């Protein structure tokens, strides 16, 4: 693959608590073009209230296609317990799009999105993630059927393994086994959010060429890192992850990771 693929990876916009200036500036960059795909890995809203979801849907509609959007734990209703338990992503699906899985396939690129968020689960902190064996098998099977030269990407909200030194945890049930399975399936990147801080590193399995990549937030809920998003540049031998940080007036590169691709 001689031509560079460029992806924009955003997460945790939290409409209802968004950084309005940063969101507007990010939109201008995305509308400027040059991206093969825009990926948003969940937490579009603060409480999944209808006005927040409507604002998120309106903003997404201003962005160029193609787009792939996964839900996060904040995209299940926070105030309505019954809806959160029995129909956690009904509002999201009505206004944003499919919650269970999302797929994108284009020359040189295959992306599969899964929902690691739950409206309710048998532990007190419902915001933490889960990924089932069925979800892993479905995603891995689909990605493995794609062109062997394509970049294979899994998108979800919660990091499957913990960010080293991160400002918070994801504690994904099934996450370590999922990370190992995706490495065996030769997935190149696993994109996530939730932590509100950018990161990139290899999973400690197999050939160590499957990389966890996290995007920051575009909300006012900063955790020691300015609002931001990732630009991902994919070449034949290298993947570059460029974390864009908000200065208060514009975005500029904050940190860059260079990741070796599989031979």
Report the b/e string of 23-57 with b at 16+ CB within 10 A: bebbbebbeeeebbbbbbbbbbbbbbbeebbebbb
Rounded Cα–Cα distance for residues 178 and 7 (Å): 23
Report pLDDT for 147.
Answer: 82
Q: Which of 96, 115, 94 is nearest to 193 (CA)?
A: 115
Rounded Cα–Cα distance for residues 162 and 80 (Å): 30
Rounded Cα–Cα distance for residues 215 and 35 (Å): 16
- Residue 21 has φ and ψ, to the nearest 5°, of -65, -40
Rounded Cα–Cα distance for residues 130 and 253 (Å): 32
- Domains of the chain (ranges; CATH) run 5-260 (3.60.21.10)
Whole-model pTM over 0.85: yes
Containing 102, the helix (H) or strand (E) segment is strand 101-106
Report pLDDT for 21.
Answer: 98
Rounded Cα–Cα distance for residues 175 and 172 (Å): 5
Low-confidence ranges of the chain (pLDDT < 70): 1-3
């Amino acid at each position: 693959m001689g031509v560079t693929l460029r992806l924009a990876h955003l997460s945790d916009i939290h409409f209802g608590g968004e950084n309005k200036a940063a969101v507007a500036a990010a939109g201008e960059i995305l509308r400027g073009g040059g991206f093969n795909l825009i990926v948003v890995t969940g937490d579009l809203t603060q409480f999944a209230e209808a006005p927040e979801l409507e604002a998120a849907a309106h903003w997404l509609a201003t962005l160029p296609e193609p787009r792939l959007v996964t839900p996060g734990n904040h995209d299940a209703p926070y105030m309505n317990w019954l809806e959160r338990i029995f129909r956690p992503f009904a509002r999201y699906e009505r206004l944003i799009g499919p919650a269970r899985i999302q797929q994108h396939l284009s020359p040189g690129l295959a992306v599969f999105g899964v929902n690691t968020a739950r409206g309710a689960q048998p532990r007190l902190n419902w915001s933490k993630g889960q990924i089932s064996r069925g979800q892993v098998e479905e995603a891995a099977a689909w990605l493995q059927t794609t062109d062997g030269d394509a970049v294979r990407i899994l998108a979800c909200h919660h990091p499957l393994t913990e960010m080293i030194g991160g400002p918070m945890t994801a504690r994904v049930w099934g996450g370590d086994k999922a990370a190992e399975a995706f490495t065996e399936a030769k997935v190149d990147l696993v994109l996530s959010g939730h932590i509100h801080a950018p990161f990139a590193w290899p999973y400690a399995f197999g050939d160590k060429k499957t990389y966890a990549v996290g995007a920051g937030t575009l909300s006012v809920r900063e955790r020691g890192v300015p609002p931001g998003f990732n630009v991902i540049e994919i070449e034949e031998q290298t993947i570059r992850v460029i974390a864009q940080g908000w200065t208060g007036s514009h975005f500029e590169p904050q940190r860059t990771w260079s990741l070796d691709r599989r031979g």
